[in-house]
Structure 1
Amino acid sequence: RRSFNGNALYTAVFKEYIYSMLNRNTPMEYFIEGGRSRTGLLLPPKKGMLAMTIQSYLRGNSKPIAFIPTYFGYEKLIEGSSYIKELGGQKKQAESLFGLLKSIQKIEKVFGVVHVNLGEPVFLEEILKKNNAPQRVALHEEMPESVKATVNDVAFDILENINKAVVINPISLISLVLLNAPTHALAEREVLVRLEQFRNLLKQHRYDERMQITELSNTEIIQYAMKLKQVELIEHDNERWVKVSDIQVGLLKYFSNNILHTFILPALIAKVLRVETEQQLFEISKSDLYTQVIEQYPLIQKAFFLKWDESEIESEITQIVDYFVAEKLITLEADQSIKISNADPKIRLLSALAHLYDVNVVKEPEKESKEK
């Protein structure tokens, strides 16, 4: 005799529902984060729906399953005010009809473009075979460890492939530049330079072939951000500065975090180099640089769902080092040492990238985990 509590009964019914959907070959849509991210970073996966989908598939009578990771990139948030309240500690507001009606009133305002990009499919059968999972599992049968491993692998593959499909839109890019500057403001000429430098980095070290980068010019990016009222122009020291208004700082953090994973490995390399400069040591051996970065890489790989495994990371470091050489941040010497430029403009770029690492590694992922 089996007794069900409310949650167990709900789960059993929902499994039957998923099973019937799969048998009818009906596409399903769900989000394995299980909720809205307050920071714009990917949340660790909640695997309940995935587990039920995979269990239903293993009951049989289903065609092969492919999960299609989908990246959504926004340029402005309709629920911006509630988002700011959540950052201040309030609980996330539950979705409701009243909330929907309030949102409709805002539709007439300019909210930019919603960017949708499809990631590389994740094929369930391949991962089941890799983990030597059984071909059939009954509904009430205990889930084998091989199937649990499959659920984990599918979840993380989905998140990694969402990151591969990232869209570098104008607002996320200018947000990354300005939020990484003192007082969240820079002279317009410096903003143009930094936008170009970051674009060049993305081209030199392209995160993935599915990644898309805005086609707007650097000047057009500033104008577009002003049109969406995300930034403002001010006069300072007899020249024009681009500034994030105080009320927008928290919101723009969301957009910059959407693309942070594409910059976090260069930021780690810059961090290692900057430590040398802070000690007035403007030289480091190439092997020492690589060793330090490789040792610290597992931390950011897990936190930001980065796609490179240990066998690939050295090649990625080389591409970024080549970019640093092209930007004249460093020079590679014949004896395999790296000399770091002490020219002020170069140090500023190195410091900007290192600052990304300082403020985002450990702090933000830990915060997200606690909020769950």
Structure 2
Amino acid sequence: MSLSQMLKSWLSGLEEQYSGCLYAKDSISLLLLLKKVLSKVLVPEETEKEVAKAASEGVVVYAIKQQSQLNTLIIREAAASHGFPRPSFAHDTNMLFWQPFGKCLRTILAFLLLPLSRSRSSEPLPRAFVRKSVRRGESVIVHLGMSELTPNRQVEDGLSQLLYAQWEMDRPVLVLPTLVTYGRRRDMERESLINILFGQTEGTGTLRRVITFFRYSNKASLLCAKPVNLREFLAENQELSREEMIDRLRGDLIERIDEEKTATVGPILKSRQEMISLVLKDEKVQQAIEQRGAENRKGYESALKEAKRYLNEIASNYSEMFIELWDKVLGWLWNNIYDGVIVDRDGMTKVRNLSKKMPFVVVPCHRSHIDYLLLSYVFYKHNIQMPFIAAGTNMLFWPLGAVFRKSGAFFLRRSFRGNELYGEVFNGYLNVLLKEGLPIEFFIEGGRSRTGKMIMPRYGLLSMIIQAYASGACEDLAIIPVYLGYDRIVEEKAYLKELGGEQKQDERATDVIKSGKILRKRFGHVYVNIGEPILMKSYLESQEQTYDDMPTEERQRLYRKIGYEIVLNIDKVSVVTPFSLLSAGFLWSDRRGISVDDLLEVLGHFRDYLQARKVRFSETFGDMNKAVTNALGLFEESNLISRVGDEEDLPEEGEEAVYSLPEENRLNLEYYKNNILHFFVPASFLAASVALHREDVLSLQEIMEDYRFFKKMFRHEFIFDDRVDDLEEIREVLFYLSQKGMVAIGGGEAGGIASIEVKGKGKRNLVPFAGLIRNYIESYWVVVRACAYLVQGRLPDKDFLKKIRGLGERMYQKGEIRRSEALSQSNYANALRFLEDMGIISVVEETVKGEKRPVRYWSISENRTALEGLRRRLFRFL
């Protein structure tokens, strides 16, 4: 081939050589400068699925909000490394510097030579190339010019060519709204120099974007929203002119990108002082300040200073630096002390989608101090904006109080009673958070559960949030229940001391330092599951009365109803772990040890029942034998149980290993048994009723009476769903037992159940289910017996509880109760509440000289009939 022919061949095809062309081959400049950092950009699983789905349905077009060489390169690199459709062209973006050297020269020649051979009436070729590329089935990148309110000829031309391409082809064109985030910094309304250099990059110049990207390249993410199908778009907008179509398409794509950004980093954040100023301008807060000034006769300025003092105590001081610090600390924690966090991915997608549409409030259960930052960490890793966390003022201890505040915590006092100004100021702060579209997190139980069960909901903060919503703080609000669970918790020993009667100690920084011993232990996995969200707009619309028309009592009922729905939803999505199931397997009996075969048999019965109820099991249950073996190993390693060995002295019974559970360790396991006990409650109540009767045939009426007795007695122990009929609950359990061959159901009128007959090993197999609540029966028995101390006269709360604990210890030593976990301060307290509800005992508060708080005094009712009836009935179950 002659030189002229080679030159002619090399120059051919220049009409498709543009500065926006992208090639599979990397340029030297790309390899030297950016290739390594581009490969660090994270592509979430949800984005991978979204792009793959779009690619299977049509031609993929990536739409970014701002013209950007860097974002174009990020999309190109992600496409290459994740198998996405590779973009071949970036409209209105000069990528010349990043093209391979030979291609770069051809692009320059095309720029110089082609205009000479093109008539003035010709259509601009770069614009037409978008249309041509898409018609060939190639992916391209278009930008949207930041705002649909700002006219941009290049943007309009690019979108116009996409629409023309779709008109001319049958295969759908899917435009993916694409967001590149450089780190997770929120945009600030008034930006500091640091945020200008290292903040988000929307609407910024190239230098700032590049600086930020290099600073946060390992935290940068590529996110894609739901695509716009242009074939469907054209069909739905036929009546519009071409210009109107382009405007609508541009606006729709920008809106979807903005929603992704809001879901990821949240809305623009005001400074702490600006938030405080907004609260102080609130009309109700102003009225409260004026009222306080009039009451204390010190005037408005004095009351204003008091309100500011409260706000300085309450308000968060969110700092991105601390979020990044916690990312490193907690990442190390979950992978060194724990074996990782197992997350409900579908639930996270649900939260993310909701966060695009409305402010949300996450309401987790509360098991550990680690909870305060666990959810923020998980949201951070799943590209969800992090919530502002309500924490008690007990967490303001130095120096972690300041750290928590910088991490998004805001603080509230345990009680607002007698301080109307504080209450209005706090309400005002909640109002501002919701008006600004910021997510909130709070623990509906108030404090950490020391027992492993859900604590009855507290309605104070919930009611304030609902009031803020109802007053117009936001158009809609999602309340999202969240289950946080641990194979084992780091506060285990502290909880055991409190359950044994010791006073709760205030949090101190030294406690955290002393807990360094935990760094040498392993605590299994952490679990995060998302419950069914409550959407306040539709929820309130479904009520018989509007919120504004509800009297105070009706509103209180509404708060209680929503509170119970939240905790029921948390219970519903709680997870069965090998540790919780194994704890139940050890504690159903009062024996000191159990053989491996017996243990596996009982665990099999428990697992079958839970599976029938469609309860969630942890991922570690893929192989039950392996899961149980691993859990046994961790229990042994922690000296909770010990392996006795093979029973070589009993060859006729075979060689069988036995695990021994020391009495002093039963309360440790009780915590983890309680994590899943709510799933067993209906079956345990029924099993306890069956175990009570010696006859094999029981009437349904007898079972129902016992069931309702337990439900009434344990109303403060377990959270019952009042929407489910008692009879229906029992029927479900009986049908399960019937399928397993444990009972035969005797029919009654209209196909109902009249009686049951226990069959074969039915009673033996039901004993473990009854055993799961036996310690609660024993605890209540102790308190019923302790009521005799009140016959001689009333007793202060502290003295009465001391007598109850002493009586429990003596009854345990004498064998009148057989389970050490029954000696629980929490169980005793709930039993006292039940007896108070029954009118058997009563409590009054009196002010006593020398005491900081009112003293509670317990006394017994003069009518002892109810107490005697309860004592006799309870004794039957022992």
Shared fold, TM over 0.5: yes
TM-score, scaled relative to structure 1 = 0.84
Are the equivalent residues in 2 in contact too, given 1:73–1:114 (CA < 8 A)? yes
Structure 2 partner of 1:13: 425
Q: 1:80 to 1:352 in 2, by over 3 A?
A: same
Return the offset for 1:353. 1.4
**Distance across 2 between alignment mates of 1:231 and 1:258:** 19
Partner amino acid, structure 2, of 1:204: A
Q: Kindly provide the CA deviation profile for residues 296-342 of structure 1, in whole angstroms up to 9, marking residues without a partner as x.
A: 4753566421336344x434323322332343322335786422136
1:119–1:164 contact (8 Å) kept in structure 2: yes
SS at match of 1:183: coil
Residue number in structure 1 paired with 2:799: none
- Identify the match of residue 2 of structure 1 among 266, 291, 297: 291
Instruction: Say whether residues 1:232 and 2:645 are aligned partners.
Output: no
Secondary structure at the aligned position of 1:33 is classed as: coil
Instruction: Label 1:270 to 1:294 Cα distance change in 2 as closer, same or farther (>3 A).
Output: closer
Deviation per residue, 1:260-299 (Å, 9 max, x gap): 010010011112211222xxx11123x4356436644753
Q: How does 1:90-105 map to 2 (within 5 A)?
A: 90-105=502-517
Match of 2:705 among 276, 292, 316: 292
Quick check: 1:367 aligned with 2:828?
Answer: yes
| Greater alpha carbon shift after TM alignment, 89-98 vs 258-267 | 89-98
**Which residue does 1:116 correspond to in 2?**
528
Aligned pairs for 1:193-212 (under 5 A) are 193-206=601-614, 211-212=616-617
1:176-201 per-residue CA deviation (whole Å, 9 max, x = no partner) reads: 11011233421110001111111111
| One-letter identity of the residue aligned with 2:644 | I
Deviation at residue 366 of structure 1 after TM alignment: 5.2
1:317 to 730, 737, 740: 730
Aligned length: 357
Distance (Å, rounded) in 1 between the aligned partners of 2:470 and 2:722: 30
Report the alpha carbon displacement of residue 212 of structure 1 after superposing the two structures with TM. 3.2
Q: How does 1:1-372 map to 2 (within 5 A)?
A: 2-3=291-292, 7-129=419-541, 130=543, 132-135=545-548, 144-206=552-614, 211-213=616-618, 215-229=621-635, 230-235=640-645, 237-238=647-648, 239-277=656-694, 281-285=695-699, 287-288=700-701, 291-292=704-705, 295-296=708-709, 298-299=711-712, 303-307=717-721, 309-311=723-725, 313-332=726-745, 337-341=755-759, 343=761, 346-360=762-776, 363=780, 367-369=828-830
Distance 2:765 2:690 in 1: 12
Matched-pair identity in %: 27
Segment drifting more, 158-167 vs 78-87:
78-87
Distance 1:356 1:105 in 2: 32
Q: Quick one: structure 1 residues 61 and 182, their matched pair in 2 at CA, closer, same or farther if it must change by over 3 Å?
A: closer
State the structure with more CA Rg.
Answer: 2
User: What are the Cα deviations for residues 82-110 of structure 1, in whole angstroms up to 9, with x where unaligned?
Assistant: 12211221122333322223335523421
Taking a change above 3 Å as real, the CA distance of residues 367 and 206 of structure 1, as seen in their structure-2 partners, is farther
Query: Match of 1:2, SS?
Result: helix
RMSD of equivalent CA atoms: 3.0
SS at 1:68 equivalent? strand
One-letter identity of the residue aligned with 2:499? L
Report if aligned partners of 1:284, 1:337 keep a CA contact under 8 Å in 2.
yes
Task: For 1:248 and 1:131, locate their aligned partners in 2 and report how far apart those are by CA, in whole Å.
Answer: 51
Contact 1:83–1:251 (CA<8 Å) still a contact in 2? Answer: no
Q: Please tell me whether the aligned partners of residues 602 and 768 of structure 2 are also in contact (alpha carbons under 8 angstroms).
A: no
Unaligned runs of 5+ in 2: 1-289, 296-416, 649-655, 749-753, 781-823, 834-878
One-letter amino acid of the structure 2 residue matched with residue 354 of structure 1:
A
AA of the residue aligned to 1:75? D
Distance in 2, matches of 1:12 and 1:221, equals: 51
Q: Hey, what's the Cα distance between the residues in 2 that align with 1:9 and 1:371?
A: 35
CA contact (8 A) 1:133 1:147 kept: no
Contact 1:165 1:212 in 2 (8 A): no
SS in 1 for 2:441: coil
Aligned counterparts of 2:556 and 2:732: Cα–Cα separation in 1: 36
Residue ranges of structure 1 left out of the alignment (5+ in a row): 138-142
Larger deviation, residues 146-155 vs 235-244: 235-244
CA contact (8 A) 2:685 2:706 kept: yes
Give the drift of 1:370: 7.4
Determine if contact 1:290/1:314 at 8 Å carries over to the other structure. Answer: no
Question: SS at the partner of 1:234?
Answer: strand
Are the structure 2 counterparts of residues 148 and 184 from structure 1 closer, same or farther at C-alpha, using a change threshold of 3 Å? same
> Whose RCO is larger (CA < 8 A, sep 6+)?
1
Distance (whole Å) between structure 1 residues aligned to residue 687 and residue 592 of structure 2: 20
Shift of the alpha carbon at 1:38?
A: 1.6
Deviation at 1:39, TM superposition (A): 1.2
Partners of 2:832 and 2:524 in 1: CA distance:
29
1:140 is matched with none
Contact 2:593–2:658 at 8 Å: present in 1 too? yes
